[in-house]
């Protein structure tokens, strides 16, 4: 089963090319201009064992929001395309992931119904490194775009924590682990669609 996808999305604000292999080893090749987000995408791939390549550019002279949100759209579209009819998948996945003082919880259902619950308790203060900063408020926009484009239900919660860096990174790791479990092929039902309806709807196409 070849569960891969390739999307190239171009708007007046962003240009994003992304490939995804659900059954990879965590191999990553990213050309991405926002350092912290590049770190999160790399973390996501490594913990999900997803192979991801990405080339992205955008109107960073405006702010980081457009590129981060649109990255969520394209990554979600790749998940939807690679999963196709979702035959044989386990469908649901959960993870509790500790990162020092932060504890993240993720629960996902690749149901075809897009819904995000996001409780991260982020301060809203940008993360600063040298002459660069990162808009932490764009993280929720990323996950909202991802869930809508992928057509899945995702609950992301920080149960405790102090550092915004640790909270965000723990969420990406937890989400990756939960998704890894959800999209894994179930050896006992590899030819079945895991639904009493015998159908897991595909998401509406996001443009």
User: pLDDT category, 162, cuts 50, 70, 90?
Assistant: very high
Q: Mean pLDDT across the stretch 126-143?
A: 93
pLDDT at 204: 55
Q: Return the biggest CA–CA distance within the chain.
A: 53
pTM for the whole structure? 0.94
Strands 127-129, 92-99: parallel, antiparallel or unpaired by DSSP? unpaired
- CA angle at residue 164 from 158 to 168, to 5 degrees? 60
Residues, the chain: 207
Q: For residues 158 and 85, is the Cβ–Cβ distance under 8 A?
A: no
Q: Is residue 198 part of a domain?
A: no
Q: Is residue 196 part of a domain?
A: no
Q: Mean pLDDT across the stretch 46-59?
A: 98
Q: Is residue 65 part of a domain?
A: yes
Q: Mean pLDDT across the stretch 4-13?
A: 98
Q: Is residue 80 part of a domain?
A: yes
SS3 of residue 99 by DSSP = strand
pLDDT at 24: 97
Instruction: CATH number of the domain at 179, please.
Output: 3.30.230.40
Q: For residues 15 and 58, is the Cβ–Cβ distance under 8 A?
A: yes
Q: For residues 152 and 108, is the Cβ–Cβ distance under 8 A?
A: yes
Q: For residues 31 and 54, is the Cβ–Cβ distance under 8 A?
A: yes
Q: Mean pLDDT across the stretch 43-63?
A: 97
Q: For residues 101 and 163, is the Cβ–Cβ distance under 8 A?
A: yes
Q: Distances in Å between the alpha carbon of 46 and those of 133, 180, 189?
A: 24, 10, 26
User: pLDDT category, 1, cuts 50, 70, 90?
Assistant: confident
Q: Is residue 86 part of a domain?
A: yes
Residue with tokens 């044989």: 88
- DSSP per-residue letters across 151-167: T-EEEEEEEE-S-HHHH
Q: Distances in Å between the alpha carbon of 98 and those of 119, 139, 191?
A: 16, 19, 35
Q: Is residue 199 part of a domain?
A: no
Total domain count, the chain: 1
Structural domain boundaries enclosing 66: 4-183
Q: Is residue 192 part of a domain?
A: no
SS3 of residue 28 by DSSP = strand
Q: Is residue 206 part of a domain?
A: no
């Amino acid at each position: 089963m070849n569960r891969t996808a390739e999307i190239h999305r171009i708007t007046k604000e962003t240009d994003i090319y992304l490939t995804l292999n659900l059954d990879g080893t965590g191999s990553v090749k990213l050309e991405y201009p926002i350092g912290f987000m590049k770190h999160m995408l790399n973390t996501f791939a490594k913990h999900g064992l997803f192979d991801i390549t990405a080339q992205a550019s955008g109107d960073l002279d405006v702010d980081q929001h457009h590129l981060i949100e649109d990255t969520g759209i394209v990554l979600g579209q790749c998940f939807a395309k690679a999963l196709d009819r979702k035959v044989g998948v386990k469908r649901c996945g959960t993870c509790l992931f500790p990162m020092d003082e932060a504890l993240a919880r993720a629960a996902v259902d690749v149901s075809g119904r897009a819904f995000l619950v996001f409780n991260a308790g982020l301060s809203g203060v940008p993360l600063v490194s040298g002459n660069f900063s990162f808009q932490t408020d764009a993280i929720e926009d990323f996950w909202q775009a991802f869930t809508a484009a992928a057509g899945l239900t995702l609950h992301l919660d920080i149960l405790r924590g102090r550092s915004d860096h640790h909270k965000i990174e723990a969420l990406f790791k937890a989400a990756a682990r939960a998704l890894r479990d959800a999209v894994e092929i179930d050896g006992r039902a590899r030819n079945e669609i895991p639904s009493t309806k015998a159908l897991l709807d595909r998401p509406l196409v996001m443009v």
